[in-house]
Amino acid sequence: MVRGDGADLILVKADAGRGRIELKLDVTHLNCDDGTCLLPGRLLEGMITAKLQEHIEGEFELKLEDPRTE
């Protein structure tokens, strides 16, 4: 989903009991200098959530750590 732009997603934590998944966006090898080649974090988070819902039953919360907004 983000590798084509040189980014990657890293699993930080998955807590089945709390229904929470934490991912970190790694932009170390991003193909653009200013980060604009990737969707904004909020849109990216929505796309990742939708993709995960295809594979995970039940409700969960996704937290995406995006270094571009820190």
Q: What is the CATH number of the domain that holds 19?
A: 3.30.300.130
Q: Is the model's pLDDT at 22 over the cut of 90?
A: yes
pLDDT in tens, 24-50: 999 998 888 777 788 888 999 999 999
Q: Mean pLDDT across the chain, nearest whole number?
A: 90
* Nearest partner of 34 among 56, 3, 5, judged by Cα: 5
pTM of the model: 0.82
Rounded-to-integer distance, Cα 25 and Cα 45, Å: 10
pLDDT at residue 9 is higher than 80: yes
Residue 63 pLDDT > 70: yes
- Number of domains into which the chain is organized: 1
What is the pLDDT confidence band of residue 70, given thresholds at 50, 70 and 90? low
